[in-house]
Structures are given as structure tokens and as C-alpha cells.
Amino acid sequence: MPPASPQMAETTSWLTGPAAVDLKHVTHTFRSLDRSTVTALSEIDLEVRRTEFVSIIGPSGCGKSTILRLISGLLKPSSGAVSVFGLPVTEPRDDIALVFQRPTLLPWLNVIDNVTFPEKHKTGRVSKETSAGALEILEMVGLQDFLRKRPSELSGGMQQRVAIARALLQDPDILLMDEPFSALDALTRDELSVELLDILVRRPKTVVFVTHSIQEALLLSDRIVVMSPRPGKITENIVVPLPRPRGLNSMLDPVFSEMTSEIRSKVFTRARH
């Protein structure tokens, strides 16, 4: 991690680590039923190191979520290549978990059953090891007293904790998060951001995180990727020089404030043009 500096840090030093995710010259075009086309991404080159936390920010419609779906194997690029740990992505992988903006919980299942559902769906049963792991993770996210509650009995923040616990129980090497806190109030959003930081200290993961919040990106990330309006292109790779471990007090650092202003200027300037 480079030393703290009041200046915006932009460097290619992140390329020195092993690539967990690698997108090379990726373009993706969506085709509608009426045969019209929309190019969401154009010539994307992106490497993410193992255990690196990278946030992607940019204007709505610039292809941020499309990048996550390409990495996860839910989409195939129109051109270019996507690889994970050196292997081409051709289908969804067990070592990648995706957390959506909405928690997408099954309303008829309680908390513990929602968290263990992927294994039960895949194998027809839930092992003792998985049940024990689910209990451990739910305690980690503060839901140990709500195991038998259904989603309708939980707040929005608690529902999103369940979704995160479900993803973590798969013990993925790569965690993809698509604006997971955007529907929450500001206080709950900050609380979950700090909880995520704490979880990743105990269970390091490679994280690619989509957000519209510059402050959220700065608090969480090792690096921030800024994208242009559609068709999305990467315009900035910004290393975050704030020291770890981080918490809400990190937002009081003068570097945090300066970088917030500079990144906002970059994003808005690109959006206007």
C-alpha cells in the first residue's frame, strides 16, 4: 500500500500481484428483440489481484453491473476475454459469489434456511459442517438471535446481512457485490460497510464492488476504477492511500475529503462529456 498523500494517487503498481480476475479488450453489446443494439462496454482492460478490493464507479448505464455478470459467467462478452485465476470464464463458477442490490431471499424460509439454501438446492441436503458454518457467519453479522425469523420480520439492513452471509457461506475466492447497500438508510449503510471491512479482515476475499457512492468506495477499496458514460470505458485507476485497518474515523482523514472531491470532479466531468 503506498504511503498516504494529499494528492490523488494513480499508479500501475497493482499489476504486480497475481491476477484473480482479468478482462482483456472486453466489449459487450446487448441486442433487443427488435434487433436494435446497445453497446454497454467498450474495450475494457481490468486486472484485479487476489484479495484486492476494487470498486467500480461511474454514471448510471455505463456497464458497471455488466462487468460483474461477465466475471461471474452469467454473460459472455461480445468480444475480448474474461479469465479467473488464469482460466477462461465460460460458465458460472463455484469459487465466485454474487451479492445483488436486493437481498433476493426466499420469503417462505427462515434466516438459517435461506443462508444454507444453495447447498440444499445443489445436493439435496445440508451437512453438519455447513450448518455450523452458517451459525458462525450469522453470528459474525449479528444475526445469531434471528435464526428462525422470516425475511418479512427483518429490517432491510438485516435482510442484506442474510444475503451477505449466504454468499460468504460458499467460501468464494471472489466476491462480486452489485450496489449491495444502496437501498439502505445512511446509518445502516455505514454500519454494514464497517462490518464488511471487519469480515474481510477475518476472511480475506477478492472483491469487485459496484457503487454510486464515492465515500463508500473510498472507505472500502484498495483501488477505485472510474468509468465513462455508455459505452463504458475505464477512464481512471485510482489507488486509495488510506491505511488499513479502516473504520468510520477514516472518513475524517484530510486525504479522504480531498480524494472525494477529486473523484467526484472526474466522474461528473466525464458524465457531462
Q: 75-118: per-residue pLDDT in tens? A: 999 999 999 999 999 999 999 999 998 899 999 999 999 999 98
Q: 29-59: per-residue pLDDT in tens? A: 998 888 889 999 999 999 999 999 999 999 9
Higher pLDDT, 121 or 27: 27
Give, for 38, the enclosing helix (H) or strand (E). Answer: strand 37-49
Q: 134-188: per-residue pLDDT in tens? A: 999 999 999 999 999 999 999 999 999 999 999 999 999 999 999 999 889 999 9
Distance CA 89, CA 199 (A): 27
Going through 76-201 in order, the beta strands assigned E by DSSP cover: 79-84, 87-88, 96-99, 174-178
pTM of the model: 0.89
Q: In this structure, is the dihedral angle defined by the CA atoms of residues 17, 21, 23 and 27, taken in order, positive or negative?
A: negative
Give me the residue spans of the domains in the chain. 1-95+172-273, 102-171
Please state which CATH number belongs to domain 1-95+172-273. Answer: 3.40.50.300
